A and B are shown apart, each in its own frame.
Chain A
Amino acid sequence: MLSYTLLAGLLFGLYFSLVAVGLNLVFGVMRLINLAHGDFLMLGAFLAYGLYAAAGLNPLYAIPAAIVAFMLAGVALYYAVVPRLQASRDPQMLSFILLFGVSQIIEALAVIAFGNNQRAIPATVFGSRPVLLLGQSFPVAWVVSAAVSAVALVVVYVYLYHSRLGYATRAVMASRDEAASTGINVHRVSAIALGTGLALAAVAGVFSAFMLGSIEPDMGIGITTTSFAVIVIGSLGNPLGTVLGGLVYGVGLMVMETFYPSWADLLPYVLLILILLVRPSGLLGQRVRLA
């Protein structure tokens, strides 16, 4: 029982790392809390559902489509609003409110386009035989989701730590002004980071039907809050810290679901508040307090 819970927690932990890592990347590069993060994930979920329902395509085929579409959307969103906001009086608060507006627009358009019904992709699209891990059997959809998450996280690692673009991105994270003064094209780097963040959210969305429950237009805000909890547990502004946060959160969630199911819903919110209050600078490495 316990080893099943822990293994399931690790599988979900990898998945939650993928759910949250885009939010953290965007925060790290442009100090912007993307309140529409969960809504982009929802759009990715509908993309996978649409391809499955219309053509019977395996959700894995939705991944390249999601990456291209949301990369472009992110770059467009960046140039449309972010430079203008960064020149304003209180960029962080204003962009927070603005992205909330974007989230409302996406949710409304999703209801208009898809209706208010809950959608599901049957978990048997990957085959119906369970996978054995260390003597425990798990649904194959969980294992596929966790494996894709692991690959995506490795790609993020290579992008940030073993590419020229990644060096530039981390320079912008450390100091926007100094990066600009060394000749880095800050706008281009940031736009790509926002595109990557949205693409990661959309890829996570492809698997949400198996890991987060049914697909519906208003699922976004809860996912945004959960993602925020995950990145705060890990390390705000450090995308790879998200993996730690995701694993802690995944295992915690599975333990709660197994032993205290009716209180499990509280977990992300309580963790978020406690960590923000108790270890804001220590765990995060960021100054988040005022006075």
Chain B
Amino acid sequence: MPRGGWYSVGVVLMFAVLPFVYGNHALLFNMMMYLVLAQGINVLFGFTGYLPFGYVGFFGTGAYGTSLAILLLHLPPLPALLVGAAAAMLVGLVLAPLLKLSGAYFAIASLAASEVVYYIVSNPHLTPLTQGPYGISLVQTYNAAQSYAVMVAVLALALGAVVYLRNSNLGLALQAIREEPISAGFAGINVVRERTRAWLLSAALAGLAGGVYAWHVSVFYPKPVFDLSISVFAIVFTLFGGAATLLGPVVGTLLLYGLYNWIGISQPEYFQLVFGIVIVVLVLFLPNGLMSLLRRIRVDVP
């Protein structure tokens, strides 16, 4: 078993078994969704250093791609999910030139890109195609149990992707690019190709999460699936736990989404306040997240 493999199996099994003993399935589903999104951010930010503020654009694209495949092409949900993921990767391919930008410029440009996708999808002129601002209804394919099971599979895929990156040459190559792109190029790494791969993998994970989400809730409006706070949650969960590790985003999501579920749903402004303070404290005192504390006492974190 590769390093971190058993932890991943444990997390997946936990979410497969928990619905039988714990009644709040919406919490479990959303937690899995954010685990997938946080690992998607981790693939990109942790391993390549690009911070995609507009990550939610892929999530929304996946939700719409899947829904439109069901509504217009009359596909069953599973093939429709692949259409959703492919749509997110296609958007990723179109936006790949953004990777030329550095640091904060990339973050803001990707935010702008997700707004562009949102305004196109929700434009009233496109109502015949996307239902415009009026939202999507997939009641004919609604199946809470099946869509939950598929989200477990997507979670396994996301964790598997990070385990692979933690143990493979691709992961090492990406981290080399993150630290020193020019030296990495001299060392024989195809900088543009590897980083585009990570970008598309990250886009596909968000697209799948969005597609399963659309199937699971089956009625939604464009605004919530393109809501910036989805990106923000996934980014902060990843940073809090520690990027570029397998367990960091898992721990970050379980703790902070648990906290959100506790105080955030009834009083979102207090949660947002806690969130903001967490970000400031992290940047000033613990820029590598909780997992760096473990590393400081010489625990090897997968």
Contact = CB atoms under 8 A, between A and B. Distances in A.
Interface string A97-116: 11011111111110110000
A104 B283 CA distance: 14
Given A105-B280, A277-B101, A289-B102, 15 more contacts: A33-B104, A93-B104, A97-B283, A101-B277, A101-B283, A102-B276, A104-B273, A106-B276, A107-B272, A108-B273, A221-B228, A269-B116, A270-B116, A272-B112, A291-B191
26 contacts: A85-B283, A94-B283, A96-B107, A100-B232, A101-B277, A101-B283, A104-B279, A105-B277, A105-B280, A108-B271, A108-B275, A112-B270, A225-B108, A229-B112, A262-B123, A263-B119, A269-B112, A269-B115, A269-B116, A269-B119, A270-B112, A272-B108, A276-B105, A289-B101, A289-B102, A291-B181
Interface residues of A, number: 46
Q: Is the interface of B mostly helix, strand, loop or mixed?
A: helix
Given A272-B109, A289-B100, A291-B192, A98 B116 contact: no
B258 interface: no
Contact of B116 (A93, A104, A266, A280): A266
Contact of B100 (A92, A102, A266, A291): A291
Which of B124, B232, B272 has most A Cβ within 10 Å? B272
Interface of A: 33, 81, 84-85, 88-90, 92-98, 100-109, 111-112, 221, 225, 228-229, 262-263, 265-266, 268-270, 272-273, 276-277, 280, 288-291
Given A84-B284, A101-B277, A93 B103 contact: yes
Nearest to B126: A262
Contacts of B102: 288-290
A198 to B, nearest CB: 17
A229 B185 CA distance: 32
A268 B113 CA distance: 11
Contacts of B120: 266
Interface of B: 49, 51, 97-98, 100-105, 107-109, 111-113, 115-116, 119-120, 123-125, 181-182, 185, 191-192, 228, 232, 239, 269-273, 275-280, 282-284, 287
B180 to A, nearest CB: 11
Q: Top 8 nearest A-B pairs by Cβ distance?
A: A101-B279, A104-B276, A105-B276, A108-B273, A108-B272, A111-B269, A269-B112, A98-B283
Nearest to A113: B269
A285 B280 CA distance: 31
B104 A108 contact: no
Nearest to B275: A104
A112 B116 contact: no
Contacts of A276: 98, 101, 105, 109
B269 A112 contact: yes
A104 B264 CA distance: 14
A144 B276 CA distance: 36
A96 B104 contact: yes
A247 B41 CA distance: 37
A81 B280 CA distance: 9
A145 to B, nearest CB: 25
Contacts of B49: 93
A273 B100 contact: no
B112 to A, nearest CB: 4
